[in-house]
Structures are given as C-alpha cells and as structure tokens.
A and B are shown apart, each in its own frame.
Chain A
Amino acid sequence: MNGCSRFRWDKGEVFHLKRIIAKEEYCMGCGLCEVYCTVQHSKSKDIIKAFNRENPRPLSRVKLEVHKPVSFAIQCRHCEDAPCVTACLSGAMQRDEETALVTHNADKCIGCWTCIMVCPYGAIKRDASGKVVSKCDLCLELEVPACVANCPNGALLCKEVKT
C-alpha cells in the first residue's frame, strides 16, 4: 500500500496535488474498489449494512471499466482545467481554493446533467436518488482513499502532481 498523505504546500509555496491513478496492467477486475467506495460513502460505513440495509444503496463513485482483457478503475481526475466546473449551471461543482480539488455540493446541485455531458472520463454519474450527481471526493476524511487502500493488487495508487 502506498502512502498518500493529503495536501500540502512545500516551502516554495508549490502546490502538491494528490491524484489517483490506475495501473491497468495490475487490475484484475475484481471490483473491490467499487465495494469499498460504496461502503465509505454509506451512512453506516459497514459493508453488510451498506449493501443489505441501506435503501437506496449508496453508489460507488469509482467505476470499474471492463473491456476484456482490459480493466481499470476510473474516478474523477480533479482535472486542472475541469470542464465540469466551467459548465456547471448552479455553481455546485467548484474548484476548492484550498485543496485545488473539484468539489461537488449536492445541496446546490440541480441534477441538470450538464457535468455528465462534459466529463471526458465519464466519471460523474446520477446518484442513487436520480436527482443529483455524484463523483469521487478523494475520501478527504481518510489518509488514503478507500479504493486505493483496498485494491488487493496495487492497481490504484496515489500520485503527487506538482502544479
């Protein structure tokens, strides 16, 4: 498991952004990334309760893309020049000034689907309610995002990107 401390500025005020990258040559297509993403974004944070009791079941924000023999997991890339932020009609999709992450505010979201239209990765989806969108938040409350931490074969890792 690779260490993925969150965000920091170094002394020269250079910003280091963490990104999740997929190593498709290591991906076995097991789908545990989706399972643990679902758990992490559930109310209970419990795998059994999240899958069996929560209704609607929380959606995984990471998507395992499979086209045999290729497979890899895709989640929001927090693009530097994010089309979803520019296109958002309501201001729900914003670039966070502190973390430089693309954040989605579900309370402001009006479910117009414009971000889905412009995301080149197909990394935004309608959430379980069908009323707003949902996407990767990089599990800010965790040291390591759930999908990265639980990938059994090192096919997802956190990388530091200098901006």
Chain B
Amino acid sequence: MPKYVIVGASAAGIGAVEAIREVDPVGTLTVISEEPCPQYSRPMISDLVSGKANLEKMLCRKDQFWQKKDVQALTGRTAIFLNLAEKWIALDKGDRVSFKKLLIATGGKPFVPKIEGAEKEGVFTFTTLSDAESLAAKIESAKSALVVGGGLIGVSVTEALVKRGLKVTMVELKGNILSLILDQTASEMVENVISNAGVTIATGQTVQRILGKPEVDNVVGGAILTNGELVPCDLVIIAIGVIPRLELVSATDVKTNRGIIVDKFMRTNVSDVYASGDVAEAYDFVIGENRLLPLWPLAQLEGKVAGYNMAGKKAEYPGGTAMSALKYFGIPIISIGIANPREDGTYEILVKHQPERNIYKKIVLKDNVIVGLTLVNEIERAGILFHLMKNCVRVKKFKQELLSEDFSLATLSRSLRRKLYPGEY
C-alpha cells in the first residue's frame, strides 16, 4: 500500500512531493494527475499562447522530476471515487489505490456561467495546458476575440492574444478591471496601457448571448453584451475565475464550505486526509479567516506544509493573503492584502502618486499595521513591506518613509531588524 497518495500534481502536489521527500526519502508515494505532463507552470499558459514559451520552458520541474523523487506518477488518470472508511481511491479505469495519508490537491476548474451559445466552437476556458493548446491552435485562423472577465486570467490571456495580433475586446462585470486586487487608480493605469495596446475594454458588462457565424451557426461569430451591443469575434474566452474541484469529496465526510476546510496543518476534518491549493480554504492572515485564494505561490506553500505534516514533521501554515505580482503589458505591479478598504475610519491610507513617472504606491494601515499594499512600477521594496505586514509590525515610527524609493532594511531600527531577521543583524 502506498504510504502517501496525492491527487493533483500542480503547484500544491509538487510542493507536497518535495516536502515529503525531504523528510521521508523512502515511503512509497503515488501521485494521480489527469494531465499527461502535470509539472508545468499554469500561470505560464498565456506565454504558450503568445508564443513566448514552449512546453519545455513551461516545465517548472525537470522531466525526470517524478523518477528523481521516487514517485509513482499515475498521469493521465482521474481519481473518481474516495472511500474514507477503507482508505482507497478508485481510478477511472476501475483500479484502486490505497493510502495511509492522502492529500487532495485537485485544484480549481473554470467557472463558466450559463451563457446562451456557450457550446459553440470557438468558446474556450483558460486554466490548463490543454485549454491553452486548443486556443493556440485556433489563433492563426482568428482575427478577433472576446475575453469575458477582467481579472488576472482575463488580463493574461488578453495580453497573449494581442501579441498574436488579434483584436481583443475585454468584458468586465465590475466598474474596473482587476477590481479584486487593485483600487480604481491602479486599475485605471492598467486599463490605459491595455487600451493603448488596442484592446477595447467594456466595463459594467457581461455577455448575454454568443452568436454563430452567418454561414455556420455552431461556430462563434460574435456576442451580444448586456447593454445590447453586438461584438463580432471569432473566439470567446471565458476567464472569470476558478472554483474548487470538490467532486472527489462531495459525497464524503470531508467538510467543505466553498472549498475544503483545512486547519493550519492543512488537515481536513478527516484524519490522515489533507487538502491544499485551489481546492482548499486556508487561512488568510489579513482578514483573520479561512478563504479561497487560488494563487500559485500559496498553493505550493500549502502543499509543502501538508507534505511535511503527512511525513511526520510538524509544520504550520503561516497564512497567506491575496497577493499578486503582475507583469502584463509591461507594467509591473505588486498587490498584497486589502486594496480597497472600507471607508469607515478604521483604515489609514498612505499614497504616493507620480503620474508623470507612472508611479503609484499605496499602503493601507490598520492600527499602524500594514494590511494592504499596492505598488505600480516601483516594486522593488515590496518584499520588505510584505515581511512587515506578515509579522504585524507597528510601523508608526517610520510610516512616512514606507513609500520612499529609499525605503530599505536600513530604515528599520537595529532592534527591529534583529527581531524580524533572526541571526542576521
């Protein structure tokens, strides 16, 4: 019986494999993945579409990763049923895999709202390598595309399509794009560069109906927005977001909310069963609650924590928060934590805005602790600020310096540095 079984081999699965092997080099380890070659970077699928990367470049671990880590990799296989009482998983071809410790890292699937015409040829989602490959295969014959969703996935696929010479319209339900991670000012800066790249952005809109081409009705020819406007297009990419893949646990005792509920050790309510990544609701240290945060770095960290604990080394998840680094359309942005605080007097906001240099920096404080951070174009000091944020450091004494270009470790008092960076100063 394999000692460890991991379902899902993207960021969280990889993190867990590495952690388990650090602690236990010999315990049998089986990984089940639907994808034939799962160790690729999902955030890079837009680079595949733009032509900037091929599959080789997208591999975030080497070809021999599974062999090297002594993993039985069941790739191209689907886990379809979980029996918790007898501790086994049934696979798609009828075989079973038993486990002592299980990690559910099944990730997320694209959220696709009900749209009339969504079954037509030329409608894509944008989450996996195969999504990207299917889309890439259609690009040569397409002239225009409609991207539904102005979040991270929507912006990344838009950039890729623009690079391939397509005329793109981006549709966002909210008043601004990237509204979950940016405030209006920062969002407008991004909207400007995207518009300058020739993209039409339609905010406050979504797609009402996808139309066929006049000559072939089952092939995408356009879409009607909620305001009635007709946008002719050859492709529609639905990039609204991902929702947890709970199929495997839905009929079991594993407790779920919107995702699988885990504690700080990444344990579910069922003993020996762990969950990590986009399928799990882990702790957000800024809001002080568990919630879905489908982000690659957090998934990998959660997987690592799960792996250590599964292998018997106690490890605690320090908590994550909304955190994104953006490179799209050549405008570097880092956004962490709260971008749009409630205007109820509990938050203090520090801002540096230099439109002539395209620089915008904003720090959100609550009781003199950083709870939100947005940096546009001047991003180099983000990690230090994030470190202060994670450690709930009261920044009262030096808050006027936080937004300075010269802010650095040297700004912090020696005693604070000693506390925050043990063994260094």
Q: Which residues of A contact B (CB under 8 A)?
A: 21-22, 24, 63, 65-67, 70-72, 74, 77, 86-91, 107-108, 110-114, 116-126
B383 adjacent to A77 (CB under 8 Å): no
Q: Which residues of B contact A (CB under 8 A)?
A: 15, 41, 43-44, 47, 52-53, 57-61, 296-297, 300-301, 304, 323, 325-327, 332, 334, 336, 379-384, 386-387, 406, 408-411, 414, 420-421, 424-425
B381 adjacent to A122 (CB under 8 Å): yes
> Measured between alpha carbons, how far is A21 from B424 in the docked complex, in Å?
7
B409 adjacent to A74 (CB under 8 Å): yes
Chain A residue with the shortest CB-CB distance to B401:
A67
A125 adjacent to B380 (CB under 8 Å): yes
> Measured between alpha carbons, how far is A117 from B374 in the docked complex, in Å?
11
A72 adjacent to B410 (CB under 8 Å): yes
A116 adjacent to B61 (CB under 8 Å): no
Task: Return 11 A-B CB contacts under 8 Å, by A number.
Answer: A24-B425, A72-B409, A87-B300, A90-B41, A90-B43, A110-B52, A111-B327, A113-B332, A118-B323, A124-B383, A126-B380
Could you tell me the distance in whole angstroms from the C-beta of A132 to the nearest C-beta in chain B? 10
Contact A116 to B424, CB < 8 A, known contacts A65-B408, A108-B57: no
A117 adjacent to B325 (CB under 8 Å): yes
Chain B residue with the shortest CB-CB distance to A124:
B383
* Additional A-B contacts beyond A90-B41, A112-B327, A117-B336 (18; CB < 8 A): A63-B408, A65-B409, A74-B409, A77-B424, A86-B297, A87-B300, A89-B44, A89-B60, A90-B43, A91-B61, A112-B43, A113-B379, A116-B382, A116-B383, A117-B379, A117-B382, A121-B409, A122-B384
Could you tell me the distance in whole angstroms from the C-beta of A149 to the nearest C-beta in chain B? 21
Could you tell me the distance in whole angstroms from the C-beta of B103 to the nearest C-beta in chain A? 16
- Which residue in A22, A77, A110 is a CB contact (below 8 Å) of B47? A110
A67 adjacent to B408 (CB under 8 Å): yes
